[in-house]
Amino acid sequence: MTPNILPPGLSEKDFNDALAEFRRIVGDQYVFTGDALSAYRDPYSLEDDAKFSTPAAVAPDSAEQVQAVVKVANQYGVPLWTISAGKNHGYGGAAPRMAGTVVLDLARMNRILEINVDSGYALLEPGVTYFDLYRHLQEKNLKLWLDVPDPGWGSVVGNALERGIGYTPYGDHFMMQCGMEVVLANGDVMRTGMGAMPKSNAWQLFKYGYGPYADGIFTQSNYGIVTKMGIWLMPEPPGYRPYMISFQREEDLEQVIEVLRPLKVNNIIQNAATLRSLLLVAGINATRSQYHSGPGPIPDSAAKKIMADQDIGMWNFYGALYGPPPLMDVLWSITRDAFASVPGARFFTPEERRHENDVLKHRAMTMRGVPRLTEYSFVNWVGGGGHIGFSPVSPINGKEAMQQYIMVRDRLAQYGFDYLSVFAIGWRELHHVIELIFDRRDPEEKRKAYEVFGIMVREAAEAGYGEYRTHISFMDQVAKTYSWNDHAQLRFQQTLKDALDPKGILSPGKQGIWPARYRQGG
């Protein structure tokens, strides 16, 4: 058959020969072409679908099949874009960065290889989703909690590799990763850390092993294909108390963040807590048209009505306490006293929330590692359900949080978009994740979203704020903002790329890292 698009520089004959080889390796039914490829498009692309289209997808079932596929890809020069659950929505979904790239779909590799309750870890294949792992722990009655992002339909391995975040004390997913098995571009396979020692039983216990620590270079990267990964799981604590604190005024953000920093740095706030903007919380239960039908951002009068209707604040902090009750009592006392200094702060437990579908009741589940889909309904805010994530990082500093907020809010308002965001509180930093919500059936909205996103990347970088992750449309632009010393980091990344993947077959363009073969066109 004639594919809709070919990998760059490949003849149709060579491509079809490569597909035949892929079919021999994984089986006819696991090489997808034609209409079956609709599952590999980005539903939220702001650009023409053709820019990210794939001619085929290949779904191996084992590391050995991955090795064989990679060898064929090397032989023919077929670029491969690796996905696991393919739920990287807002950042490109399952779609490849470069048109003509074949998707290497690892969803069939969904084995839970080991759970160790005593030491608190799991060894997983990349196709294991948060739902899979949660179900397994429940069915086996294992007293371990996982840490989930929201929504929880993605891959545990994939999310850690993208350096995603969750909401329990184990919320920094890559920090909780320990040990990898990686298929390299030449078809070789290696294990990292203690896994490199044949008889070691500490592969999932000690991250660093001996010599240079390699795992980091396989995250947000295109240097290898991770086929197994260890992830630490949290022992079920003896107590758990989720809570919410609402703040009434826009300008409270600065003080809230200042109060937050010492609490987080001193580990009084134990989990990866979040501070959520009014409309992100409201969007779980309401839509914009229920409050405002005109153009432009939501007016203050509508914001006040939303706050009253949903009993939420302009900013809403969701945290949780974990441990023995006396410990939680002390931590709560300190936390409550600190936030009570913010005028108008209100404190809630889930039982005190009056609406059945209240966000705190959902967060009470996600902050103890129960994967859900409910909060994905924020994408309905404007109707038509499109979203893309803009995610600059800053210190946990009130003035800087306020500066970022005003900068993004005003720029979005200029283009007619509302401000929906979450400040995810890291160990020392804020991930300010702004959800740019647009009607994906409206070409003009998409055009405006694309334009304002590019402007925000530039303006944020000029102020010193870099994105921790981005959509495939903006990977090159964001990579270029990390430009210290004439782009020394990108040049180092390209050097590694050329050494590890000289034919440039693994995920070309991922995070702005292009192999030499495509570098001029990237």
Partner 1 sequence: MDGMNRRAFLQATGGVAALAAASASAAALPTLTAIPSATGVPVLFDARFPAARAHAEKLAGLRQSLDPLPGDATELMQSFANGRGPRRMIGVTAESVPFCLTELAPRDRRPHLTLKRLDQDLFAWHLVHTS
Number of H helices, E strands in the chain: 14, 19
Kindly tell me which of 361 and 447 has the beta carbon lying closer to partner 1: 361
Kindly tell me which of 153 and 405 has the beta carbon lying closer to partner 1: 153
Q: Find residue 346's DSSP bridge partners.
A: 246
Q: How far is CA 484 from CA 390, 479, 480, in A?
A: 21, 11, 9
- Assess 40 for contact with partner 1 (CB under 8 A): yes
List 151, 193, 392, 504, residue binding partner 1 (CB under 8 A): 151
Q: Which of 89, 121, 135, 147 is nearest to 273 (CA)?
A: 147
Give me the 299-338 binding string for partner 1, x by CB under 8 A, dash otherwise: ----------------------------------------
Kindly tell me which of 164 and 193 has the beta carbon lying closer to partner 1: 164
On the 0-12 / 13-18 / 19+ scale of CB atoms within 10 A, 449 is buried
- Assess 441 for contact with partner 1 (CB under 8 A): yes
- Assess 376 for contact with partner 1 (CB under 8 A): yes
Residue 287's CB: how many other CB atoms inside 10 A? 15
Return the DSSP state at 298. Answer: P
Known catalytic residues?
A: 91, 468-469
Kindly tell me which of 223 and 438 has the beta carbon lying closer to partner 1: 438
- Assess 33 for contact with partner 1 (CB under 8 A): no
Number of residues in contact with partner 1 under rule CB under 8 A? 39
Q: Segment near partner 1 (CB under 8 A), from 32-40, 213-221, 453-461, 479-487? A: 32-40
- Assess 374 for contact with partner 1 (CB under 8 A): yes
Query: Residue 388: which region, alpha, beta or left (left: phi > 0; alpha: psi -120 to 50)?
Result: beta
Whether residue 244 contacts residue 316, with contact meaning beta carbons closer than 8 Å, is answered with yes
- Measure the CA–CA gap between 341 and 252, rounded to whole angstroms: 11
Structure tokens at 471: 């959509």
Q: How far is CA 424 from CA 235, 318, 320, 372, 433, in A?
A: 23, 10, 14, 18, 7
- Assess 65 for contact with partner 1 (CB under 8 A): no
Q: Segment near partner 1 (CB under 8 A), from 31-39, 69-77, 252-260, 316-324? A: 31-39
- Assess 220 for contact with partner 1 (CB under 8 A): no
Q: Segment near partner 1 (CB under 8 A), from 63-71, 346-354, 373-381, 411-419? A: 373-381
Kindly tell me which of 252 and 375 has the beta carbon lying closer to partner 1: 375
Q: Segment near partner 1 (CB under 8 A), from 48-56, 199-207, 262-270, 372-380? A: 372-380
Residues 334-353 that bind partner 1 (CB under 8 A): none
